[in-house]
Every structure is written in C-alpha cells, then in structure tokens.
Structure 1
Amino acid sequence: MAGHDLALDGASVQEALDGLRQTWQQAAGTDPSYDVVSALMTAWSEATLGYLNQLSCEDPLTGLSSQAHLRSRLSEVYRLTGPGGVASHALVVFALAPGEASEDTGDHFTRAMRLARAGELSRTAFARDETVARLGIHRVGILTRRDEHLGRRVQVLRTLLDRLRDPGGEESPVRIWIEGLPTTDVGAGMLLDDLARG
C-alpha cells in the first residue's frame, strides 16, 4: 500500500526505496528484507502502470481505445445531449469465449491478439466516428449512435466475428448485444465497470 501511495504522490523509485530503508532502520534497526522491498516495488510499479495506461487513449497491447477513453467519450455524450438525449446512443458489446488459455504470459498475449483482431473486424461494421474500446480480458465495447442501421451493423459484426477462429482453427463462439445507456453519467461508469469485470 505504501508503494502505491508513494507512486501516486509522484515519488521516484529511488525516493520510495530510500524512505523504506530509513523507516525500516529506525523501526527495526536493520535493512528491509527482500520480501518487503519486493512488495513495495510491486505496489509502486502497478500504481505507476495504471496511471500511465489511463493517460493513453489507446490500450498498449491491442491498439483498441482504452476503457478510460471510452469512459471519457461517454461523459462527453452525457454532457452534450443531457440525460434524455443519451437514448440516441448505445453501447454494442461483444465477448469472445475465454478459451482454454491459462494464466501464462504467452496466453495473455494470445488473448490480446484475438481481441485486437476482433476489434479490427468491428471497425469494418462500425467505420464512422464510433469508439471501439477494450473492456477487460475478453470484451470490446463500441459507443455508437442508435439509428435505423444499428441492427444491421450488429448483424454484420456478428457474421465477421463468427469467422474469427482460435489458434486451433475451431470456431470461437461470440456473444454480442446492444446495451442501452443508463440515464446518468455515474450509472454509465458503473455499467462500464460491470462489463469490464464480466
């Protein structure tokens, strides 16, 4: 927790390590153990990486928009249209099957590449000013206008995604749906959080 707080306060790695050493020597009379230093550095690096990822509009691994960028675009829709006007927009969501991937780093990369390919296909069906963003490990969200062509574009996307094959060459089942937007911007943030966890 201390590493996380230090990173958010802008402390460098050296400042965090120096502070840990001074505190540990005053409290215990020795240098901190490897486990303590490791815990501090892990918390510091995770907070720093999270901050950097939120600065970018793009997910660094897939090239899709980041969830933070999608959240910003949603807030813009609420700001420009007002609570009643959000009915003019929708969130198209699709979820790729998790597959048999383990927690190995290579599997994370394989999943990200499948998601990147799926996002690329979605830009074929949604080629206007839509925001196509990564939502968690297996999901993509597309902020789009709700018009008379939305159902047809979702069907085109479903057809494209049904052809997406996993590395073994078998069909990967894809769930796709249109999500209505909540009446408030806060509700939209909670919806995105729920979708990213699912």
Structure 2
Amino acid sequence: MNDYDVATAAFARAVRGGRESLVDVALVVGASAASQGVSLVEAVERIAELSPGREPPYVAVRSVVEAWTGSAPPPVTDADCHDPLTALTSVSHLRTRLDDVYRQAGHRGGEPAVSHVLVVVELGRRGAHGLEDDLWGIEVGHALAVAFPAHETVARLAPDRFAALTQAEDADVVGLAVLARLLREGLAGEPEPRVWVERLPHDGDAVTWVLSRLTE
C-alpha cells in the first residue's frame, strides 16, 4: 500500500476508537494525499466514507484541508482555471464556457437562452472566510457536480455564491430536488441556502451584465 492508503487505513482505525489521534491521522491523510496527487475533494470524500453516517468530525476535515494545502505543490499552469483547493472554476473560465455556448449556437442555429441555464446556489451564512469558506465551497461544488453531471461547469461567483452551467432540461424538478437533498446533507446544521435558476439572455453580449450582477 502507498502512504495515502496507509493513512486512510489508520484513519478508519481511529474512527473506530483506536489509539491513534484522529486529528494527527487526518493530518497525515491530507499530506499524503497532496504528495501523491490525490485531490482535496477526493481526500475529504474518502474520510467521509470511513466515518459513521458519512459525517466526519469537523476537526478531522479541517486537519485534512490544512495538511493538503500545506503540502500540495503549486500548479505550474492554470490552463483549465480550476482552483486546486475546491476544484471550482473561476468566473473568467465560466465566461469562456458561456462564449463557447453562444458561438456554437451561432454555427448550429441553436438558442442558448433556451438550451442552457445557470443553477445558482447562495449560502445562507455570512461572514465565513479563509479555510472555513473553502470547506463550504467544496460541499456546494460537489452537490452541483453530482446533481448536474452532464457537461456541467461549476464555478465560484463570490465567496458565498456558486453556479453550474448546465442544460436547461437537466435543471428540472428532479435535478433541483437532487441538488436540494445534497445541499441539506453537505451543509447540515447551516442555514438553508438560496437556490434559483438563472436564465441566459438571448443576446450573448448581455452575458457580461448577468455575470456582473451575480458576482456582486
């Protein structure tokens, strides 16, 4: 087994009441994940799988995040504009994806205002910052990616606001219900977030105005 597998096995023992310190083992999980190229999202999901009811203690999640961020090498490039900590894309990348949608529609005769939407999630909590802010970003990003898995682009618009660019047909009652359930599970104990479907403008030039309003 590699170091990451050894660390997660130790975490499982600690959760079951072993002699290892849960915080110390979680730090090793985070550091080993970073050194072996395991994403932070995957590492956090792994300790959730090993925790009773898939609810890892907050101190354990925090330790994994701290160790991962302290050990992960900085990216050489940011070609795909993903935040290595939360796996969320930037607003500029979302804008590029929107430009692609409008450009392709121009060639194929489609209508982005009909075919695509932005599903927006705004956290009900305020005042979070730093590491705590990123932890909630991981949860919301995961919920959006799972609820809308088909060619979605999930971006962070502001510290407390997120969006998924997805097919309009996927943002139906079922898709939104799945998102709501995932958010309840991931943000347990937090104020209920606001969720809405943002329609795209008919004119591609108006996308700038839409994003400016959403990123305020």
TM range (shorter): 0.5 to 0.7
Equivalent position of 1:181 in the other structure: 200
Change (3 A) 1:154 1:69: same
Quick check: which has more Rg, 1 or 2?
1
Fraction of identical pairs, as percent: 35
How far, CA to CA, are the matches of 1:68 and 1:92 in structure 2?
Answer: 17
How far, CA to CA, are the matches of 1:148 and 1:126 in structure 2?
Answer: 7
Which of 142, 148, 168 aligns to 1:120? It is 142
What does the per-residue CA deviation read over 1:89-117, in whole Å, with 9 as the maximum and x for residues that have no partner? 1111111123343xxxxx32211221122
Q: Which secondary structure state, in structure 2, belongs to the residue aligned with residue 90 of structure 1?
A: strand
Equivalent position of 1:85 in the other structure: 111
Structure 1 window deviating more from structure 2 (75-84 vs 173-182): it is 75-84
How far, CA to CA, are the matches of 2:125 and 2:209 in structure 1?
Answer: 23
Please say if residues 118 and 161 of structure 1, whose CA atoms lie closer than 8 Å, have aligned partners that are also in contact: yes
Q: Which secondary structure state, in structure 1, belongs to the residue aligned with residue 169 of structure 2?
A: coil
Q: Which secondary structure state, in structure 1, belongs to the residue aligned with residue 195 of structure 2?
A: strand
Which of 54, 65, 73 aligns to 2:89? It is 65
Which of 155, 163, 167 aligns to 1:145? It is 167
Amino acid at match of 2:200: L
Normalized against structure 2, the TM-score is what?
0.57
| Structure 1 unpaired stretches of 5+ | 1-51, 102-106
1:75 aligns with 2:99: yes
How far, CA to CA, are the matches of 1:178 and 1:72 in structure 2?
Answer: 20
Change (3 A) 1:88 1:94: same
Q: Which secondary structure state, in structure 1, belongs to the residue aligned with residue 150 of structure 2?
A: coil
1:96 aligns with 2:123: yes
**Greater RCO, CA 8 A, separation 6+:** 1
Normalized against structure 1, the TM-score is what?
0.62
Which of 142, 154, 166 aligns to 1:132? It is 154
